[in-house]
Every structure is written in C-alpha cells, then in structure tokens.
Structure 1
Amino acid sequence: MGKRILLFLLTNILVMTTIVIAWTLITTFTDINPSYLTGGSGLGIDYGTLMIFSILIGFAGAFISLAISRWMAKMMMKVKVIDPNNFKNAHEQFVYEKVERFSRTAGLMHTPQVGIYQSPEVNAFATGPTKKRSLVAVSSGLLQGMDDDAIEGVIAHEVAHVANGDMVTMTLLQGIVNTFVVFFSRIAAVIVSRFVRSEIQWIVQFAAIIVFQILFSILGSLVVSAYSRHREYHADRGGADLAGADKMAHALRSLKAYVDRAKVNDRTDDSAIQTMKISNGKGGLVSLFSSHPPLDDRIAKLEQR
C-alpha cells in the first residue's frame, strides 16, 4: 500500500524540478536576479536570504504537490472513479459502500471519491489535498485476490489515513525537507560552478541545481518514508477501530501470504511484487526507503491490542 507515498514523492520531485527550471529561465532572460547571489561574479551567497528563498520555494512545492495529488493519482494510475448512482458491477458497489460506511463511522463529513484501477498487484491507496477532496482507490488485483473480510480491512486502513489527515501532515514534513533540499542544492551548485570558466558558469550552475535537487530530494525521502512507516501503525489501529481488529489483522496476514507466494514464484520482474516486497520492509538500504514497516511487525503490534 505504498502508492500514496510513492505518488506524492514523485509528484513533489516533478513539481520542484519544474519550479527550478521556470525560476532559472525567468532570472536568466529578465532583469530579475536571484537575491541570494552576491558579488560581482554572482557566485557569493547571502545565506539568510537563501534560507527565506528556500522556505518559500520548498513549501510552495509541497503544497502544489498536495493540491494536485488526487488528480495526479487518477491520471498516473488510470483510476476509474465509481459513480454511486450507477454501479457497473458488484465490486464497485461493495467497495463504495464500505468506504461510505467507514467514512461515516470515522466522522468524515464527506465520502471520499472511490475508484478502482486495473492492475494485477494487490494494492490500495488514499490521497487528496483535504478530507473533503480525498480519493480511496483499490486495484482490481486486490478485489480478485482477497476475500471480503480482507478487503474490508484494507479499505478501513485507507479511510483511516484520510481521517487522520496524513496527507496534510506529510505535506508539512515534505515542505521542511524541500526547504533544506533547495538550500543545500544551491550551495552545492554555486561551489561546483566556481570551477568552470565564467562564460559557462550559469549553465553549469543551472544543471547542477537540478541534479543536486533531485539527488537531495531522494535522500530527503528517507525522512518522509520514516514518518510514513510511523503513520502506518496509526492507520492500522484506525482500520481496526473501523472494521474490527480481526478483519484488519486478517487483511495484513492476507498481504503477507501474497508476498510469500510472490517470493516462491520469484517473479522479480513484476513491479507489483516489487512493491509488495518493499512494503514488507525487507532489510538493507531498501528498507530505509520503504514507506511501510514489515508486515510481521504490523501484525504483531495489532495483535498486542
């Protein structure tokens, strides 16, 4: 269920890169100069001004990413939104009615948009800029591969993410991460540009900013992923409150059984299975980028209740 974070991080990197390119073009071909650069060569740095600049750009990028998160998710995942007045099949009716019931139980004033996307992976996600403008989507593979109780547990978990406001808190954290990404990427770019001829310094600095910003954004995702793993336990507890602890635990065990079957089949080229392996939090450096804790840990914590 790492789609929510993966889509948000990818959107954030795309938005931040777009802002950088637009700002660089504006400052290059107009009389506007980036005020944090000082000195005759333009290669000195006013660190206080740069920090203010970084805060503005960093939080702007995070909130733009949040604002378009639902639209981006529907476009990238080809989510078909369910019309509650015209169900096409039993799956649509089942998923929508569960989201509606859990949303009401969770105290949400509005039912999120509900959708299904065609994919063999067993997955689901929730996203959106506000509780009112949220989206809960499940894969066709989840509907075909899990029983009703497990599906209920997964849906309850995603509704809990919406009720907990996890996307907004994630955005605030991403804004802080973006601030440091912008700050240090520009310092690094200025340092690199000092080693080339003056006539190509602006080109080198422009390219270096993009490269360093993407690199530092990837490193910054370690912080966002760590916070996401922490919030997953809360969503599990919320899902247990909405659907029942037995159904939530059953959903997690069903996910684990799917992962175990994937390992046996060793279909390493299947992106859906790779997603589930990451969600399972198996060791090494990969686990640091995982948006979800190991399923065994999640099951154990839920059973401790």
Structure 2
Amino acid sequence: MMRIFLFLATNLAVIAVASVTLSLLGVGSYLERSGNNLNLQNLMVFCLVFGMAGSIVSLLISKWMAKKSMGVQIIDQPQNAGEQWMISTVKELADKAGIGMPEVGIFHSDAPNAFATGWNKNDALVAVSTGLLQKMDKEQVKAVLGHEIGHIANGDMVTLALIQGVVNAFVMFFARIIGNFVDRAVFKNEDGPGIAFYVTTFIAEMVLGILASTIVAWFSRRREYRADQAGAELVSPAAMAGALAALKQSYDQPSDLQGELVAFGIRGEGKLSALFASHPPLDDRINALKQRYGN
C-alpha cells in the first residue's frame, strides 16, 4: 500500500511540476487545432519537460522515498557498538572521498544488499541490509560502504537521473511521431488525432521504452565498475573483491530493491538478460578488479 501511495504521489508531483513549467514557458498544445499535424517545436519542449520532470522529481525525493518504501531506520544516535562502527566507518570513507557525511541507515532484508541515494553528494543516504551485516565480515562491509560512497562521490545518482530524463524525452517524442504517422498515413485521418494516434503512441512508448532501458542499463553497468574501483581504493582491492565473492556465494539474491534503488544497490546477477541488467555479472566485476590491481 505504501509503494502504491508513493507511486501516485510521485506522478502527481511530476504532472504538477511539468504543467507549471510548460505554462511558464508559454508552451501550448503540440497538436494543431486544424488538421492532423504536430507542432514539432511544442512537442519537443513538452517531451523534454515531462521527461526531465519525472527524473528530477524522483531524484529530489529519492531519500524520502527510500526511507518510506524500504523501511530504512536512520542511525541518529548509535545504540550499540555495531551502529557506532557504521557511523565512524562511513564518516572515515566520506572524508576520504571528499563528500559530506551521508545519512546512515539499516533496512531489514535477509539478502545482503546496500544502496546509496540522494540528490547531491553532500545530502545523500547510505543504507545496508541486515542480511549484509550478518553475512559479511567487517572488512567486506567496509568495502561495500566504500562502493556506495563511490557512487555518491562520482555523482551517479544525478548522472543516471539526467540520462533517464533525456531517454524518456526521446521515447515520448518519437512515440508521438510514430502515432501521428500511423493515424494519417495508415488510417487516413486528416481531421485531427483519432483513436489510432493514441493507441499507436501508447504501444510505441512501451516498445521504445523497453529498448531505451538498455541504454540506461549500459550506463549503470559502467558506473558499477567505477564504484567497485572506488571501494577498492577507499578500502582495499582485496576487501572489495572479497565482498563481491561473498555476495556471489549468497544463496538468496536481493529481491526487494525496486526502481531507481536497484541501480545503486550491490547485488548479484538478476534474472533479466545481460542487456537489461543494471549491474555487470559478479565474475566480470571481480575479474576487472584483479586485472586492475592484480591478485
């Protein structure tokens, strides 16, 4: 129920932000009042505003959404030695990476996992699962935290949000071009957009969206290698490789990170094909560390 509420609230916020922005820009409808033509200038602005609005709004509220949807318990005042170690370790790594101290939290999951999110490198959140703390030793956990700090320091949240926004804009733009073409050329509708325009646009958005997701996934995989490198340099190559090896040996793969959080969580190979995977195979990540730093 909470995730449904968050989904609806986010989309309402996107529509509100995009509508206000279009109004301020003085952009009218991209459908011509007479005939079945598209105003390409208005269409480009419309798609760019709505495409970017979704990504930017999601980025700005990402910490809040993560806390609510994942049930992250923020460590404000450490209650035990383990929590104190977490705070001290994140502070050490953040200082070393040259970023502001992130919020630190723990979420319940038997799967070993972690994620970082936030709209800028000085206002971020790092959270780890209870399963990760149970199944990895301190040096491996520290490497995982270094990996997540690397995501923050590298600006991965902002980079992927911008890429997703641009991709969304292109999908919306070309879907409407295709819808208009089918409506006019195939169904010979010259009196304004008919049902064929809307149905074709919807189908084209689904197909183009799936294809476009491979672009975002490719960029995400590149950022994972960089975050692994950050974990190796902030902690040690052996610890980072050990954390990935421990994850590979885990019998239960993460399943409860959804949406944008998946792109920033350490996780094993998923069920999707490599083309759509947000993370490279663990063997490839371990081999990349070995090639760069030696055995």
Alignment TM-score > 0.5, same fold:
yes
**Superposed displacement of residue 184, structure 1:** 1.9
In structure 1, what is the equivalent of residue 288 of structure 2? Answer: 301
Q: Secondary structure at the match of 2:274?
A: helix
Q: Conserved in 2, the CA contact under 8 Å of 1:122 and 1:272?
A: no
Q: Answer yes or no: is 1:186 the counterpart of 2:176.
A: yes
- Which residue matches 1:267? none
Residue matched to 1:157: 147
Written as runs of structure 1 = structure 2, the 5 A alignment for 1:114-133 is 114-133=104-123
Deviations 1:188-221 (A, max 9, x none): 4445666599999677756765665455334322
Size of the alignment, in residue pairs? 275
Displacement of 1:280 after TM fit? 3.8
CA RMSD of superposed structures (Å): 3.7
Instruction: Determine the C-alpha separation between the residues in 1 that align with 2:60 and 2:209.
Output: 19
C-alpha distance in structure 1 between counterparts of 2:127 and 2:257, whole Å: 18
> 1:40: which partner in 2?
34
CA 1:186–1:19 in 2, change beyond 3 Å: closer, same or farther?
A: farther
The residue identity in structure 2 corresponding to 1:248 is M
Q: Secondary structure at 1:44's aligned position in 2?
A: coil
Matched letter for residue 232 of structure 1: E
Aligned-pair identity in percent equals: 43
Flag the structure with higher helix content.
Answer: 1
3-state DSSP of counterpart to 1:229: helix
Distance 1:292 1:88 in 2: 34
The one-letter code sitting in structure 2 at the alignment partner of 1:235 is A
Deviation at 1:88, TM superposition (A): 2.3
What CA deviation, in whole Å up to 9, does each residue of 1:7-29 have, x standing for no partner?
A: 9xx97xx6499539x86xx99xx
SS in 1 for 2:106: strand
For the structure 1 residues 116 and 200, does the alpha-carbon distance in structure 2 shift closer, same or farther, using more than 3 Å as the test?
Answer: farther
Partner residue of 2:54 out of 43, 55, 61: 61
Given the alignment, which residue of 62, 85, 93 partners 1:102? 93
- Structure 2 Cα separation of the partners of residues 79 and 282 of structure 1: 23
1:146 equivalenced with 2:136 (yes/no): yes
Q: CA deviation at 1:90?
A: 3.1
Indicate conservation of the 8 Å contact 1:98/1:152, yes or no: yes
Deviation, 1:107, is 1.0
Label 1:257 to 1:148 Cα distance change in 2 as closer, same or farther (>3 A): same
Task: Indicate yes or no: 2:277 matched with 1:290.
Answer: yes
Structure 1 runs, 4 residues or longer, greater than 6 Å off: 196-200
CA distances 1:133-192 after superposition (whole Å, capped 9, x unpaired): 111010111111111111111111001110111111112211210110220232344456
Conservation of the 8 A alpha-carbon contact between 2:73 and 2:105: yes
Q: How do 1:203-222 residues align onto structure 2 when only pairs under 5 Å count?
A: 212-213=204-205, 215-222=207-214
Match of 1:137, SS?
strand
CA shift in 2, pair 1:190/1:106, >3 Å: same
User: If the length of structure 1 is used for normalisation, what is the TM-score?
Assistant: 0.76
SS state at 1:291 partner: coil
Deviations 1:245-296 (A, max 9, x none): 11111111111111xx349xxxxxx836998xx954478x622111111111
Q: Where does structure 2 lack aligned partners over 5 or more consecutive residues?
A: none
Counterpart-to-counterpart distance in 2, 1:16 and 1:287: 33
Question: Which of 13, 37, 49 is the equivalent residue of 2:42?
Answer: 49
Change (3 A) 1:248 1:58: same
* C-alpha separation in 2, matches of 1:209 and 1:140: 44
